[in-house]
Amino acid sequence: MLTAAELTLLSRLDLAYRRSRNGLYAGERRSPRAARSPEFSDFRPYVSGDDFRQIDWRAYARLERLMLRLYVAEEEACLNVVLDASESMALGTPPKWPSARRLAAALAFLGLAAMDRVTLGTFDGRSLPPLRGRDGVGRMWQFLEGLEPAGETGPAELARLRWLRPGMTVVVSDFMAADAEGAAADWSPALAALAGRRQEPVLWQVLAPDEERPWITGDLKLVDPETGRDREITITPAVVADYERSLAALRSRLARSAQAAGGRFLVSDSGADLEQAMLAGLKVGVLRRG
């Protein structure tokens, strides 16, 4: 699924969680909560009700005050990767699907390498059980290799997913869904629902170069591969300019919706390699150098 060079690249990166991690198991992520662990954090004065076993008697001998030793808690983080496997992901030159699937594989690898609890699935509800550690990499990649783009998807399907766990939820999609009237779908309610379930949404849009800058001209019949709706249209420079304005407006709405839900939005090009995609993640703070 990923080459040796790409794995070497990923070994220098890590996911950058924003929200507090409250995993069920011990892990390797620093938590903002103080707890007992091998790593010392700070001192604070003893108050009634504190665990007297954490009193530092050497500090008391020096300061003649009861002081507690605080430690950094290391807890498990949870990563959900939601991959859009709808028919539209097979479109584009080059097609979006291989790039999106490789991106999902890379994100899952980063989570598993950091001993996070990782769940991977699609909008239609197909998913693996939560996995942890590098032993789960093979299962993740086998699951991804068995997927093929089919059907349609949208924000309603995202809101209905029940396999998502509290933590970071990365949605890899073109986000080109339409509502019943054919207008661009509103993702805000679905993202608000994720935030309400203690998830930090990251919207990672993957588009092809010819979707970014269309080159088609003339009289055409356009067919939506997901809904089957068609439309006859004459492609002129003015129509292309209108499409580009609509795409910019869609991205602006997605960015605002993600921010309102405590998340982030970023874009990758299906013609770009994995290193360029990871650079996009670094720029918006979804990734950090390990």
Beta carbons within 8 Å of 75's beta carbon, 6+ residues apart: 21, 22, 23, 25, 26, 27, 29, 31, 33
* CATH, domain 4-9+77-289, list 3.40.50.2300, 3.30.70.2860, 3.40.50.410, 3.90.1300.10: 3.40.50.410
Residue 273 above 80 pLDDT? Answer: yes
- 232-268 per-position pLDDT tens digit: 888 899 999 999 999 999 999 999 999 999 999 999 9
Residue 147 has pLDDT above 70, yes or no: yes
Tokens 């997927």 -> residue: 147
Q: Where are the domains of the chain?
A: 4-9+77-289, 26-75
CB distance 91 to 45 below 8 Å: no
Q: Tell me what the mean pLDDT of segment 13-37 comes to.
A: 58
Give tens-digit pLDDT for 66-86.
888 766 554 568 999 999 999
What is the pLDDT at residue 31? 46
List the alpha helices (DSSP H) in the chain: 4-10, 57-63, 96-113, 137-145, 155-160, 188-196, 209-212, 237-260, 274-284
Q: Which residue shows structure tokens 């407006």?
A: 249
